Structure 1
């Protein structure tokens, strides 16, 4: 998959950057200068619901700092997806900010670069002293025994957030305390398009946080006491499997969450689409998304059994944000003054209250603003049952490579196999239709394609659009049911994007190639996908759906006999040449060349034996033609049939796209009008 290859490249980039940084690419051992005493640049991490929220929170405080000191702070809020790479680039180039936020788990990795100011006793004294900070927060500021590489700014811990209304509607009285209870509760809540648990399967850091805690609960660590990577111990493997199995086995996480990386699971929670999330200090985000504080509850994250505590009863990593200073700053005095300001009691209360996090400064924790039920759970978790991620130089690489492994496993877990029946197609499509992506593509204004789909569905409903003596019969119960079932994929099942009602030029294939649509029902689409930049291993081909059972003849038909024929006008002035041209085009050699180019199947027997047509895709199509396809009616009025019935389906798709009801009666009415346009017999 393209996503997996990109992740692997990212892991390699990080590895190289860290190696270069460790070799002294950052800066010298001296502190910076005071050449530019009136300005500072500051990279803040994205703590709010979006970047604009962070700017609204931070800018007034930066203005206050400028008023007090005369130092202008130039703010940039950096998304989490970019932050670590931006920092690593800065450590090697020397072109970074003066002050920056870092994930506390990166402290040891960035410390090894030598680019950050060490917070020795003198520097801590300049900001009010080291003993102002909570011990657990200081434990994630760098390698033990060395001067910290950063100062704690925001403290966080993981907890289980649950939607009170969804719990009450399902008759669930209390949040789960163990993983077994979580799976059981999640199954009760996973129905009617809603899901028990949300996750961010493409958020590498979040993946690591979850499996690190689970590994602790399984008695394992991802590093040995000597600091060597140990990712394949039984406990580590069990931890990763248990987390991914919440989607793969327990089916309580929506498959679409495998793609989430930008807090979409929190949005789903706020919209009553997901009943639970395991998150750090999510309250502020829920408020910005319109929830009232009495609409969610907070409970300790699950353990394997018993009560949360230390060792195998750990239920959170020590989460948080640290503040660091680049040693090569041209305003070292201003940078320290800014860190002192941001970690002052007053600012700690303001900032952590805004973000719903916990102040790592002891005095600020005494403020009533921090004494909420939500934060009480988080404070107790940090104090009694949280463990720091490994403070080793390779920690950021660890997050990347193991986080990517979990991401890929989530991608594999999302959908196990293609649907074989229309019911399965609708169910699978609903799982895939979220976050601006859709389960199925269609060309709703393509009259021929419309006709082909409803012809097959009519066969499956035991109907034909023509009687045995060639009279049109568009309004039989089976024909009406066929058209309604096809249009209902948009109108009722909501797995086709409304905009597809206007598609007529293969746009659904373009959407598929751009990862906007997960499935299409099409004839020999492989060549088109290749021309649109897809590799052949990026799509699969399966038989088109049936109502039940296996494809075959009669009501188990799953395709019309599609193809292109070659004809000669009788009045041609070169009849011999025309026949020779047809002979040439249908020769074994040309049949192989042409059908290979178009991804179609040669109708010439000998050409079908060529290895070029022995691909998985074409094998499915060959078997379909041989065993479960039916020819469209071979009647003189066939082209009119395609036009009038294809148009009826097009108009019904337009109704569905506009939100107008598509009923059995409205379908029958459209087909009646179509039949009236056919020649009378």
Structure 2
């Protein structure tokens, strides 16, 4: 039923595009006339300059079109409906299921063995898991993303955790001591707009999403424990209810001594709070049943209608090479999906970055379902009702499961 609805929508959108084609002047297919030119759509700035080495080595011209993330989803939908897309496209992990069901990607399974850098063993297992859909390989991992704990080493030492909390029991104990320092003193800012974070907490309690069970997957004591854990930090005043002072100022002055985030904030802390150099560090996620974090990032895929499969795969093979991915990290600070790239000194010699490499070994792919983002946003709404509105947890979870069942049935 879900696939039928997607196809109906795509057909409708195709009619609209066809009717407007005579006036649109669309040039998305311009590169198609030159067999040595491929068109690449990306949401990452700087790729056009980065690919010059590939162009010189291969004789293939790469026509890069950078698309803002906020408009990328609609642009991809239009490409699917019209059949007029690029040869290679970047796809975020949370969009894989939605666009795979609409037949956006070419299945490249039969080509994998022909290219040395595309072998699944080259990449983190969880990253590969997000490139496989319905028995097909719809992409190759480009860069990866995960979450870890940032903490003030000097302040955590004062409450007995100089190397940061190892477990969630440690985290709660340290947080209570930090909050006891006085007025306007907190332990941590929990992410309130990140739909992945509630799932991370649930995975660490031993919960998993079962596609066959659907909404019944949320009827689990492990999932409830994750919601209760999240609520504890607000109920006891360990995390501030409300925005408060500018975050990096709070991390600098120690009033919020911990936070969860991705690798990009290593550079942000260094830039925004240079006065605390040597007084903070990064640590893998605290452990409950496990310490799994999310596996995010982006893939490179061949558009289903591309007539330049060989050229496209040569490009993706080059982008997947360890040296290329290490160089991309130097350029954009986006973490390599290729595990060998982590042996490069630019990553291996940086202890904080290496911590993210360690965390990537303990990750969980996000549920590969088209409704994932809607479910994530719905659980954020539920948490807001519990933490800020005082709603009762059992009743809120019952309402969430009912809404999840409705979303999954549409």
**Please, what TM-score do these two structures have when normalized by structure 1?**
0.47
Report the 3-state secondary structure (helix = DSSP H, G, I; strand = E; otherwise coil) of the residue aligned with 1:318.
strand
1:249 aligns with 2:235: yes
**8 Å CA contact retained: 2:122, 2:339:** yes
How far is 1:174 from its partner? 3.3
The aligned residue for residue 196 of structure 1 is 187
1:380 aligns with 2:358: yes
Distance 1:272 1:232, change over 3 A: same
**8 Å CA contact retained: 1:104, 1:319:** yes
Q: Which residue of the other structure, out of 298, 307, 323, is the alignment partner of 2:300?
A: 323
How far is 1:148 from its partner? 1.3
Distance 1:195 1:179, change over 3 A: same
Q: Distance in 2 between matches of 1:169 and 1:314?
A: 25
1:301 aligns with 2:285: yes
**8 Å CA contact retained: 2:38, 2:308:** yes
How far is 1:397 from its partner? 0.8
Report the 3-state secondary structure (helix = DSSP H, G, I; strand = E; otherwise coil) of the residue aligned with 1:252.
coil
Matching of residues 25-424 of structure 1 within 5 Å: 34-37=32-35, 38-45=37-44, 54-55=45-46, 58-68=47-57, 69=59, 71-79=61-69, 83-84=72-73, 86-123=75-112, 125-126=114-115, 128-131=117-120, 133-136=122-125, 137-143=127-133, 146-167=135-156, 172-190=161-179, 192-193=183-184, 195-203=186-194, 207=195, 209-224=196-211, 226=212, 228-235=214-221, 237-256=223-242, 269=251, 274-281=256-263, 282-289=265-272, 291=274, 294-304=278-288, 312-329=289-306, 331-371=308-348, 372-383=350-361, 385-391=362-368, 395-410=369-384, 413-414=387-388
Report the 3-state secondary structure (helix = DSSP H, G, I; strand = E; otherwise coil) of the residue aligned with 1:201.
coil
The aligned residue for residue 430 of structure 1 is none
Q: Distance in 2 between matches of 1:83 and 1:194?
A: 40
Matching of residues 638-653 of structure 1 within 5 Å: none
After superposition, the C-alpha distances for 1:56-80 in whole angstroms (9 at most, x for unaligned) are: xx4431344445435143342533x
Q: Distance in 2 between matches of 1:135 and 1:202?
A: 26
Q: Distance in 2 between matches of 1:256 and 1:289?
A: 22
**8 Å CA contact retained: 1:107, 1:141:** yes
How far is 1:333 from its partner? 4.2
Q: Distance in 1 between matches of 2:3 and 2:252?
A: 38
Q: Distance in 1 between matches of 2:253 and 2:156?
A: 14
Q: Which moved more, 1:158-167 or 1:88-97?
A: 88-97
Report the 3-state secondary structure (helix = DSSP H, G, I; strand = E; otherwise coil) of the residue aligned with 1:378.
helix
Report the 3-state secondary structure (helix = DSSP H, G, I; strand = E; otherwise coil) of the residue aligned with 1:200.
coil
Report the 3-state secondary structure (helix = DSSP H, G, I; strand = E; otherwise coil) of the residue aligned with 2:133.
coil
**8 Å CA contact retained: 1:103, 1:322:** yes
Distance 1:90 1:268, change over 3 A: farther
Report the 3-state secondary structure (helix = DSSP H, G, I; strand = E; otherwise coil) of the residue aligned with 2:136.
coil
After superposition, the C-alpha distances for 1:153-206 in whole angstroms (9 at most, x for unaligned) are: 113333211133543576753312222322332344345545322233123xxx
Report the 3-state secondary structure (helix = DSSP H, G, I; strand = E; otherwise coil) of the residue aligned with 1:256.
coil
After superposition, the C-alpha distances for 1:432-488 in whole angstroms (9 at most, x for unaligned) are: xxxxxxxxxxxxxxxxxxxxxxxxxxxxxxxxxxxxxxxxxxxxxxxxxxxxxxxxx
Tell which has more relative contact order, 1 or 2 (C-alpha 8 A, sep 6+): 2
After superposition, the C-alpha distances for 1:108-130 in whole angstroms (9 at most, x for unaligned) are: 44322211122213255246441
Q: Distance in 1 between matches of 2:33 and 2:187?
A: 56
Q: Distance in 2 between matches of 1:407 and 1:266?
A: 25
What RMSD in Å do the two structures reach over aligned CA positions?
3.8
**8 Å CA contact retained: 1:35, 1:330:** no
How far is 1:246 from its partner? 4.6
Distance 1:72 1:103, change over 3 A: closer
How far is 1:241 from its partner? 1.7
Q: Distance in 2 between matches of 1:409 and 1:70?
A: 50
Report the 3-state secondary structure (helix = DSSP H, G, I; strand = E; otherwise coil) of the residue aligned with 2:201.
helix
Q: Distance in 2 between matches of 1:361 and 1:288?
A: 28
How far is 1:400 from its partner? 1.8
Q: Distance in 1 between matches of 2:239 and 2:173?
A: 13
Q: More strand by proportion, 1 or 2?
A: 2
Residue ranges of structure 2 left out of the alignment (5+ in a row):
15-28, 392-410
Distance 1:399 1:269, change over 3 A: farther
Report the 3-state secondary structure (helix = DSSP H, G, I; strand = E; otherwise coil) of the residue aligned with 2:106.
coil
Distance 1:187 1:141, change over 3 A: same
Q: Distance in 2 between matches of 1:210 and 1:44?
A: 23
Distance 1:342 1:16, change over 3 A: same
**8 Å CA contact retained: 1:187, 1:196:** yes
How far is 1:84 from its partner? 4.4
Matching of residues 482-497 of structure 1 within 5 Å: none
Q: Distance in 2 between matches of 1:149 and 1:96?
A: 16
**8 Å CA contact retained: 1:317, 1:389:** yes
Q: Distance in 2 between matches of 1:63 and 1:112?
A: 34
Residue ranges of structure 1 left out of the alignment (5+ in a row):
1-14, 46-53, 259-263, 305-311, 418-681
Q: Distance in 1 between matches of 2:3 and 2:280?
A: 42
Report the 3-state secondary structure (helix = DSSP H, G, I; strand = E; otherwise coil) of the residue aligned with 1:294.
coil
How far is 1:17 from its partner? 9.2
Distance 1:22 1:313, change over 3 A: farther
After superposition, the C-alpha distances for 1:596-655 in whole angstroms (9 at most, x for unaligned) are: xxxxxxxxxxxxxxxxxxxxxxxxxxxxxxxxxxxxxxxxxxxxxxxxxxxxxxxxxxxx
**8 Å CA contact retained: 1:17, 1:92:** no
Q: Which has the larger radius of gyration?
A: 1
Distance 1:330 1:295, change over 3 A: farther
Distance 1:222 1:120, change over 3 A: closer
